[in-house]
């Protein structure tokens, strides 16, 4: 794909504010990777705690960390297509540029430039160039929108981290974040507090675990008010929960939801406090035998997942933009209709 060098300008709206944007092909050597890129959040929180500054090498390492499969897949696609179809976003920084969105593509172009030093298509990359003296809020908006999607623990951790930093460090209100992201206030609060607990209490003690980041969903589940109130009522706290997760006592994210039921039984709650999660689970089985059923365990997980589905995902499914999920939902409905109708 041959890239056009034609420069053009257009006017658009970013965060509700009109902006004049220039589109041009710019040298990849003139682009600085963004040390505030949300994708390196876990790297910054854990591998570079000793310094507020991250080197360009550190940014590159943080971007690849946990994304190597996706990175190589995107690299293969860009190489086969002869370039990227989507412009990156940059802000002027002296006589250079700061990459606000598209850091991964910049890194790939540089690697392909080294691989094919005589091919001009890898020397420059098409970019949307923000006006001079652009404010930080515009940059924050672009970072947030670029990293808003994603479903795995790594991606949700980054999203939660960015929401937390915008709220705690930069003074964004919850209403501003809701209006910008279209997320519910409940999701914003749960992800924000899950990030705070995980970053401040879990990772300093358990970041050595190779699977530490895969535990983020546990901390989102932990934000359920019934769980938080139960922990307080029986004299336990977030560090106790961190230890259960860190020591492997809670093997799966969905098992965190069992805490709600544990706190409904005094004997199970006491077992949790004195002997740990597994003992509490065993105690609970005597009171609620159905909890030992794998089928009903998955039913509970399904119910919770449907309740927590975002409006964006719901719209994509119902508008047939995600036919596989829609087919699965219809199959579930068919099986339930058949089961409930069998008793007629």
As a whole number of angstroms, the distance between CA 256 and CA 254 comes to: 5
Task: For residues 132 and 155, give the distance between their C-alpha atoms in angstroms, rounded to a whole number.
Answer: 31
Joined tokens for residue 227: 């769980």
Tokens at residue 298, please? 């998955």
Residue 2 has a pLDDT of 45
> Does pLDDT of 138 surpass 90?
no
Separation between Cα atoms, residue 258 and residue 241, nearest integer Å: 13
Confidence grade of residue 121 (pLDDT, cut at 50, 70, 90): very high
CA dihedral of residues 60, 61, 67, 70 (deg, nearest 10): 40
Residue 249 pLDDT greater than 70, yes or no:
yes
pLDDT tens, residue by residue, 262-274? 999 999 999 999 9
CATH code at 114?
3.90.1530.10
Query: Concatenated DSSP letters for 125-167?
Result: EEEEEPPTT--HHHHHHHHHHHTS---SHHHHHHHHHHHHHHH
User: Residue 1: its pLDDT value, please?
Assistant: 46
Which residues have CB under 8 Å from 332's CB, separation 6+? 302
Q: Quick check: is 183 in a domain?
A: no
pLDDT at residue 118, rounded to an integer: 94
Instruction: Work out whether strand 17-27 and strand 124-129 pair parallel, antiparallel, or are unpaired.
Output: antiparallel
Q: Where are the beta strands (DSSP E) in the chain?
A: 8-14, 17-27, 31-32, 88-93, 96-101, 124-129
Distance CA 262, CA 265 (A): 5
Q: So what's the pLDDT on residue 304? A: 73
Does residue 111 belong to any structural domain of this protein?
yes
pLDDT digits (tens, 9 = 90+) for 153-199: 557 888 889 899 999 888 889 998 988 888 899 999 999 999 999 99
Query: pLDDT-based confidence at 343, cuts 50/70/90?
Result: low
Starting at the earlier edge strand, list the strands of the sheet with 31-32: 8-14, 17-27, 124-129, 88-93, 96-101, 31-32
Signed CA dihedral, 217, 220, 226, 232: sign only: positive
Condensed to tens digits (0 to 9), the pLDDT of residues 278-308 reads 999 888 887 666 555 566 667 777 887 787 7
* Both structure tokens of 209: 């675990």
Block residue for tokens 């094919």: 116
Looking at the domain assignment, is residue 14 inside a domain?
A: yes
Residue 80 placed within a domain: yes
For residue 55, give its domain range: 8-136
| pLDDT band at residue 151 using 50, 70 and 90 as cut-offs | low
Instruction: Summarize pLDDT for 314-326 with one digit per residue, the tens.
Output: 878 888 888 888 8
CB 246 within 8 A of CB 207: no
- pTM of this prediction exceeds 0.85: no
In a domain, 257, yes or no: no
Indicate the average pLDDT of the chain: 86
pLDDT at 297: 66
Domain count, the chain: 1
Please check whether residue 112 lies inside any domain of the structure: yes
Does 21 map to a domain? yes
Residue 312 has pLDDT above 60, yes or no: yes
- Residue 277 covered by a domain: no
Q: Over the stretch 35-86, which tens digit does the pLDDT of each residue have?
A: 888 888 877 777 655 566 788 998 898 888 767 888 898 999 999 999 998 8
């Amino acid at each position: 794909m041959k890239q056009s060098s034609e420069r053009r300008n257009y006017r658009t709206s970013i965060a509700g504010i009109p902006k004049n944007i220039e589109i041009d092909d710019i040298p990849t050597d003139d682009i600085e990777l963004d040390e505030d890129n949300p994708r390196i959040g876990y790297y910054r929180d854990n591998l570079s705690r000793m310094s507020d500054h991250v080197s360009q090498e550190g940014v590159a390492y943080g971007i690849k960390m946990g994304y190597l499969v996706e990175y190589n897949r995107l690299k293969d696609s860009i190489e086969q297509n002869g370039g990227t179809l989507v412009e990156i976003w940059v802000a002027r920084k002296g006589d250079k540029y700061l990459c606000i969105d598209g850091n991964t593509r910049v890194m790939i172009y540089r690697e392909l430039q080294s691989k094919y030093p005589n091919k001009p298509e890898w020397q420059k990359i098409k970019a949307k160039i923000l006006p001079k003296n652009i404010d930080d809020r515009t940059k924050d908006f672009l970072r947030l929108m670029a990293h808003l999607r994603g479903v795995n623990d790594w991606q949700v951790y980054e999203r939660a981290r960015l929401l937390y930093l915008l709220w705690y460090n930069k003074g964004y209100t919850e209403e501003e974040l809701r209006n910008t992201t279209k997320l519910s206030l409940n999701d914003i609060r749960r992800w924000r507090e899950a990030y705070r607990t995980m970053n401040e209490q879990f990772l300093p003690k358990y970041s050595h675990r190779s699977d530490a980041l895969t535990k983020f969903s546990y901390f989102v589940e932990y934000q359920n008010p019934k769980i938080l109130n139960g922990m307080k009522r029986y004299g336990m706290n977030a560090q106790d929960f961190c230890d259960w997760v860190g020591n492997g006592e809670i093997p799966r994210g969905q098992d965190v939801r069992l805490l709600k039921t544990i706190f409904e039984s005094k004997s199970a709650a006491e077992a949790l406090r004195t002997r740990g999660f597994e003992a509490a689970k065993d105690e609970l089985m005597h009171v609620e035998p159905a909890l030992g059923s794998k089928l009903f365990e998955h039913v509970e997980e399904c119910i919770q997942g449907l309740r927590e589905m975002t409006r964006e995902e719901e719209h994509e499914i119902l508008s047939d933009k995600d036919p596989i999920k829609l087919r699965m939902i219809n199959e579930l409905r068919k099986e339930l209709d058949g089961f409930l109708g069998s008793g007629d």
